Structure 1
Amino acid sequence: MKKNALVGIIGIVILVLVGLVFGSFGGNFSSGSPPSNNTSAAKVLTIGTTNIVKTDNFVKDYYMGIFAACFILDPLAAVDEGGNIVPNLINWSTTDSKDWTLTLIRNATWHDGKPVTAEDVAFTITYLKAKDPNYATHFQFVVSVQPVNNKTVVVNLSKEWTSFTTGLAATRLMPKHVWANVTDPATYSGNDRNVGSGPFTYGSFDSASGTMTFNANKNYWRGIPVVDKVILKFYTSTDAMLMALKKKDIAATYAYASGIDPVYVPPLLEEKNVSFMILPNFGVDNSLWFNCMRYPYNMREFREALSYGLDYNSYVSFIAAGYAKVPTKGWIPDSWDYYVQKPLLAKNSSRAASMLDSLGFVDGDSDGWRDLPNGTALTMKMLARSDIALSMRLAELVKRDLESLKIRTQIIPADVSTFQTITQNTKDFDSAISRTTFWGMIMYAGAGTLYFDNRNMGWANVNDPQYLAVVDEILRNANQTHTTELYVTLQDLYATNMYAIPLYWGKIIQPYRSDMVDGLVYNTMYGILGKDTWFSVVIK
Structure 2
Amino acid sequence: MKIKRVIAACLAAVMVVLPLSGCGNSSGEQQGNGSGHVEVLRIGTTYKNDGYSAMNSESAYGRLNYHSFSQLNLWRFDEEGKLTGDGCFFKKWEISDDNRQVTLHFDPLGSLKWHDGEPVTIEDVLFTFDYYKQQNMTWFLKITSVDQIDDTSIRLNFDEDEAFAFMNEATLSYYILPKHIWENVTESKKYTEPDAAVGCGPYKFVSADADAQTSYYEAVSDYPLGEITVDKVELKSFDNQSSLIMAMQSGEIDVMYGYSSSLDTTLLPTIESDPNIDPGESLNSATYQIVFGFNQYPTNDLNFRKAVRYALDYELLAQSIGGGHGQIANEGAVSPACLGYDSSLPENKRDLKKAAELLDQAGFVDKDGDGMRELPDGSPMNVKIALQGSTEIYKRIAEMIQTNLAEAGIRVSVDEQTISNPDYTKQLRTNSAYEIYLGMTTVGIASWTGIASYIADITMTSNQHFGTYADPAYLDAYSGMMKSKNYDEYSAAFKDIQKMNAQEAPGIALAIMKTYFPYRTDKITGWVNYPSRGVINGETWYKAVAK
Q: Is TM (by shorter chain) over 0.5?
A: yes
Residue correspondences, number = 497
CA contact (8 A) 2:268 2:279 kept: no
- For residue 49 of structure 1, the aligned residue among 45, 57, 65 is 45
Q: Which moved more, 1:432-441 or 1:99-108?
A: 432-441
Tell me which amino acid in the other structure corresponds to 1:92: W
Tell me which amino acid in the other structure corresponds to 2:265: P
Task: Assess, with a 3 A threshold, how the Cα gap between structure 1 residues 59 and 355 changes in structure 2: closer, same or farther.
Answer: farther
CA contact (8 A) 1:292 1:298 kept: yes
CA shift for structure 1 position 326: 0.5
Distance (Å, rounded) in 2 between the aligned partners of 1:345 and 1:489 = 18
Tell me which amino acid in the other structure corresponds to 2:156: V
Task: Assess, with a 3 A threshold, how the Cα gap between structure 1 residues 351 and 82 changes in structure 2: closer, same or farther.
Answer: closer
Aligned counterparts, 1:139-158, within 5 A: 139=140, 141-148=142-149, 151-158=152-159
Task: Assess, with a 3 A threshold, how the Cα gap between structure 1 residues 461 and 248 changes in structure 2: closer, same or farther.
Answer: farther
After superposition, the CA RMSD in angstroms is 3.9
Task: Assess, with a 3 A threshold, how the Cα gap between structure 1 residues 341 and 467 changes in structure 2: closer, same or farther.
Answer: same
CA contact (8 A) 1:200 1:215 kept: yes
Distance (Å, rounded) in 1 between the aligned partners of 2:389 and 2:55 = 20
CA contact (8 A) 1:117 1:150 kept: no
- For residue 407 of structure 1, the aligned residue among 401, 407, 412 is 412
Partner of 2:323: 321
Q: Does 1:95 align with 2:96?
A: yes
Distance (Å, rounded) in 2 between the aligned partners of 1:118 and 1:536 = 29
CA contact (8 A) 1:199 1:220 kept: yes
Distance (Å, rounded) in 2 between the aligned partners of 1:227 and 1:420 = 44
Partner of 2:124: 120
Distance (Å, rounded) in 1 between the aligned partners of 2:209 and 2:345 = 49
CA contact (8 A) 1:75 1:168 kept: no
Tell me which amino acid in the other structure corresponds to 1:220: Y
CA contact (8 A) 2:128 2:179 kept: yes
TM-score by length of 2: 0.77
Q: Kindly name which structure, 1 or 2, has the bigger radius of gyration based on alpha carbons.
A: 2
- For residue 445 of structure 2, the aligned residue among 428, 440, 443 is 440
The alignment partner of 1:231 has SS state of strand
CA shift for structure 1 position 407: 0.4
Task: Assess, with a 3 A threshold, how the Cα gap between structure 1 residues 421 and 193 changes in structure 2: closer, same or farther.
Answer: farther
Partner of 2:223: 220
Task: Assess, with a 3 A threshold, how the Cα gap between structure 1 residues 313 and 140 changes in structure 2: closer, same or farther.
Answer: farther
Aligned counterparts, 1:107-506, within 5 A: 107=109, 108-131=112-135, 135-136=137-138, 138-139=139-140, 141-148=142-149, 151-161=152-162, 162-170=164-172, 171-218=174-221, 220-223=223-226, 225-257=228-260, 259-281=262-284, 283-292=285-294, 297-335=299-337, 336=339, 338-349=341-352, 351-352=354-355, 355=358, 378=382, 380-385=384-389, 390=393, 393-402=396-405, 405-410=410-415, 412-413=418-419, 431-443=436-448, 446=449, 448-453=451-456, 454-456=458-460, 459-478=466-485, 483-506=490-513
Tell me which amino acid in the other structure corresponds to 1:231: E
CA shift for structure 1 position 347: 2.7
Distance (Å, rounded) in 1 between the aligned partners of 2:51 and 2:424 = 18
The alignment partner of 1:173 has SS state of coil
Task: Assess, with a 3 A threshold, how the Cα gap between structure 1 residues 189 and 378 changes in structure 2: closer, same or farther.
Answer: farther
Distance (Å, rounded) in 2 between the aligned partners of 1:365 and 1:131 = 59
The alignment partner of 2:513 has SS state of strand
CA contact (8 A) 1:144 1:155 kept: yes
Task: Assess, with a 3 A threshold, how the Cα gap between structure 1 residues 353 and 286 changes in structure 2: closer, same or farther.
Answer: same
Tell me which amino acid in the other structure corresponds to 1:316: A
1:316-374 superposed Cα distances (whole Å, 9 cap, x missing partner): 22331332311111113334555242222123345546656766778999999878888
Task: Assess, with a 3 A threshold, how the Cα gap between structure 1 residues 82 and 42 changes in structure 2: closer, same or farther.
Answer: closer
The alignment partner of 1:124 has SS state of helix
- Ranges in structure 2 where 5+ consecutive residues have no aligned partner: 1-29
Task: Assess, with a 3 A threshold, how the Cα gap between structure 1 residues 273 and 459 changes in structure 2: closer, same or farther.
Answer: same
Task: Assess, with a 3 A threshold, how the Cα gap between structure 1 residues 284 and 81 changes in structure 2: closer, same or farther.
Answer: closer
Partner of 2:72: 74
Distance (Å, rounded) in 2 between the aligned partners of 1:292 and 1:183 = 42
Distance (Å, rounded) in 1 between the aligned partners of 2:179 and 2:396 = 44
CA contact (8 A) 1:119 1:150 kept: no
CA contact (8 A) 1:384 1:395 kept: no
Partner of 2:33: 39
The alignment partner of 1:316 has SS state of helix
1:186-244 superposed Cα distances (whole Å, 9 cap, x missing partner): 22222222222212122444554333333322353324532232222223332222222
Task: Assess, with a 3 A threshold, how the Cα gap between structure 1 residues 462 and 208 changes in structure 2: closer, same or farther.
Answer: farther
Task: Assess, with a 3 A threshold, how the Cα gap between structure 1 residues 459 and 42 changes in structure 2: closer, same or farther.
Answer: same
